[in-house]
Amino acid sequence: MSFQNFFLSLLLNLLKRTIMNIGDKAPDFLGKDENGKEIHLSDYKGKKVVIYFYPKDSTPGCTTEACNLRDNHSELIKQGYAVIGVSVDNEASHRKFIEKNDLPFTLIADTDKKLVQEFGVWGEKQMYGRSYMGTLRTTFIVDEEGLICKIITPKEIKVKEHAAQILG
């Protein structure tokens, strides 16, 4: 991609990027899970919902984060939370990730990038001096009424302690 095309793509993305804020109503339709089943926030009525966005299945940081949430899942459930992970990986990738790591929660396959853009977590990233677009690791806590009550930003997330950050 040429610099001009990259810059134009970045500019267009920023213009259409919406960012969810504390107090905003989260969208009801979240997407399809690892089995192609439609997932709606209203399915979790009366529960607090952790919607955590992560860059890619089976990468070191994402696996560490998912396993931390898995290892603390019973405490999250006990405290009234449901956990939903979201990445732009496809359903087959999610099924493999779930099976390999024995994950007890739903993963949404946001292959069309609709949800990452709606939440404002699709943005410019840099690695090894190269810029590219990707998912910014971010977690949203949605209360029992469907309102965002807490946001853990990319700079705040500690993948080895993520459940404690949610419960804290």
Which residues are catalytic, by number? Answer: 62
Decide if 118 contacts 88 (C-beta within 8 A). Answer: no
Strands (E), 72-129: 81-87, 106-109, 122-127
Cα–Cα–Cα angle for 165, 105, 19, rounded to 5 degrees: 55
